[in-house]
Structure 1
Amino acid sequence: MNPNLLKQLAIVVKQGSLSRACEQLYITQPTLTRSIQQLEMKVGAPVLVRTRYGVQPTEIGARLAQIGERILAETEQGEEVIRQFHSGYHNEFVIGIDPLWEFATVAHTTAYFMQEKHYVFHFRTGSAAAQIELLQNGELDFLLAPAHLSVKQGTLDRQLLFRDRSGVFVGKKSALRGASKVVSHETLEKQNWIVAGANAGFLDRPSELIGLKAASMAFTGSIRSVLHLLNTSDVLVRLPARLALMTGEVDMDQMIQVSGPQGPRRDIALWSKVDNLERPECMKVHELIRGFMQQLEESTSTFDLSL
């Protein structure tokens, strides 16, 4: 089967319109129609149906469109590899990072890794719970994530390189902002709490402070919404304190002292597969990332946190 037919079908399904697909493909509608007809002759059944909302795939059409999507992705990746080769890069490494780490360290990360001229770095943001599986399955080369993840570590190497601790932050409109005294559990119970990092490795829920009261909202996979709420409302949230303060989006007077023990540790580790570290290129990049994290650890303020 001609893979171009599957690629064209995938674009039609994604666009939901033959005319819009033609615009993306830079071909005429009669040409695209003939391609779809060729595919339907091969299948022996329709792959598209017309509806009042445009064209939609049949069951077999949807399955073939998925294959076309993969062919498109592989083709684009192949073209990028060729561009990397002509630009003098040796290899590409995929590095998973936590959303808060990405937001807090983007300037440092860009300045550091742009200096390396031998490798291409693909940073992939997502929850640690999901990305640790990608690392184990070989879809990531390295992962910068919480050091204390509930995961079998037999095939994984973990190096704790950046110290942090959980803290309680209040929105700029909260009456507790700038509180000079320890805030009691009774006061905390009356506040509007949200959860950040649900299923992301930072499982800091308010329950340890306020008992059974439920948080009104939870956010996973994005830190921007949480930081926006801290800037515009009176919500309370637990976050890795050092990283949160590094973003520059929250102020020191938004971190309050609460009764009870200190917040749990939220250190960041460099995770990798043990087998990968036997490859010379992986070992070089591992040392490169390690150097970056150590440099960040030594040059970044601890904000008077007990680390």
Structure 2
Amino acid sequence: MNPNLLKQLAIVVKQGSLSRACEQLYITQPTLTRSIQQLEMKVGAPVLVRTRYGVQPTDIGVRLAQIGERILAETEQGEEIIRQFHSGYQNEFVIGIDPLWEFATVEQMTAFFMRETRYVFHFRTGSAAAQIELLQKGELDFLLAPAHLSVKQGALERQLLFKDRSGVFVGKKSPLRGAKKVISQAVLEQQNWLVAGANAGFLDRPSELIGLKAASMAFTGSIRSVLHLLNTTDMLVRLPARLALMTGDIQPDQMIQVEGPLGPRRDIALWSRVDNLERPDGMKVQVLLQDFMKNLEASIPRFELPL
């Protein structure tokens, strides 16, 4: 089967219109119609049906369009690899990073990796829970994420390289801001809480501090909304304290001392696939990431946290 027919079908399905697909493909509508007819002759059944809202794929059309999408993606990746080769790059590595880590270290990370001219780095930001699965599947080469993820390591290697601990932060409008004393559980139970990193295995729920009281808002995979709320409301949240203070969007007087044990550790580790480290370039990039994280650990203040 001609793969171009599947690629064209995928674009038609994505656009939902033959005319819009023609614009993207730079071909005439009669040409595209003939391509669809050739595909339908091969299948022996329609792959598209017309509706008042445009064209929709049939069941077999959906399945073939999915294959066409993969062919398109592989084609684009191949073209990018050729561009990288002509630009002098040796290889590409996909690195997953946690949203708070990205936000807190953006200046240091971009400056560090801009100096590296041998490799192309593709950074993917997302929750730790989602990204560890991508690493296990081989869709990531490395992951900068919490060291204490609940995950079967199996073929993964973990190196703890950045120390951090959970802390409680209050919004700038909270009367607790700047408190010099330890805040009791009775007071904490009366506050408005939000949850950051829900289901991500990284950031903390307030339940261990305030019992069964529900948080009014929860966020997964994004830190901007959390920082906005801490700047504009009286809400409370638990965050990795060192990273949170590194952002500059949260002030030290917003972190309060609370009754009970210290917050749990929230150290950051470099997670790697063991089989990836068998590649010479993989070993070199691992050393690059280790050096970056070690330098950051040594240069970033600890904000008087018990680390």
Q: TM class, shorter-chain normalised?
A: over 0.9
Match of 2:264 in 1: 264
Alpha-carbon distance in structure 1 between the residues aligned to 2:38 and 2:233: 58
Matches within 5 A, 1:1-307: 1-307=1-307
In terms of mean alpha carbon deviation, does 140-149 or 229-238 score higher?
229-238
In terms of mean alpha carbon deviation, does 69-78 or 190-199 score higher?
190-199
Q: Which amino acid counterpart does residue 44 of structure 1 have in structure 2?
A: G
Q: Which amino acid counterpart does residue 216 of structure 1 have in structure 2?
A: S
Q: Deviations over 1:142-163 (max 9, x none)?
A: 1111011112234221111001
Cα pair 2:203 2:239 within 8 Å, conserved: no
Alpha-carbon distance in structure 1 between the residues aligned to 2:235 and 2:13: 42
In terms of mean alpha carbon deviation, does 285-294 or 202-211 score higher?
202-211
Alpha-carbon distance in structure 1 between the residues aligned to 2:92 and 2:83: 12
Tell me the matched-pair count.
Answer: 307
Q: Deviations over 1:264-296 (max 9, x none)?
A: 100000111223223221111110000000111
Q: Which amino acid counterpart does residue 228 of structure 1 have in structure 2?
A: H
Q: Which amino acid counterpart does residue 167 of structure 2 have in structure 1?
A: G
- Where does the alignment leave 5 or more consecutive residues of structure 2 unmatched? none
Cα pair 2:161 2:269 within 8 Å, conserved: yes
Q: Deviations over 1:50-108 (max 9, x none)?
A: 22222211111111111111011000000000000000011111111111111111111
- Where does the alignment leave 5 or more consecutive residues of structure 1 unmatched? none
In terms of mean alpha carbon deviation, does 16-25 or 210-219 score higher?
16-25
TM-score by length of 1: 0.96
Q: Deviations over 1:196-219 (max 9, x none)?
A: 112222141111100011111211
SS of structure 1 residue aligned to 2:106 = helix
SS of structure 2 residue aligned to 1:290 = helix
Alpha-carbon distance in structure 2 between the residues aligned to 1:250 and 1:53: 48
In terms of mean alpha carbon deviation, does 3-12 or 177-186 score higher?
177-186
Q: Which amino acid counterpart does residue 174 of structure 2 have in structure 1?
A: S
Aligned-residue Cα RMSD (Å) equals 1.3
Cα pair 2:203 2:238 within 8 Å, conserved: no
Q: Which amino acid counterpart does residue 188 of structure 2 have in structure 1?
A: L
Cα pair 2:203 2:240 within 8 Å, conserved: no
SS of structure 2 residue aligned to 1:110 = helix
SS of structure 2 residue aligned to 1:213 = coil
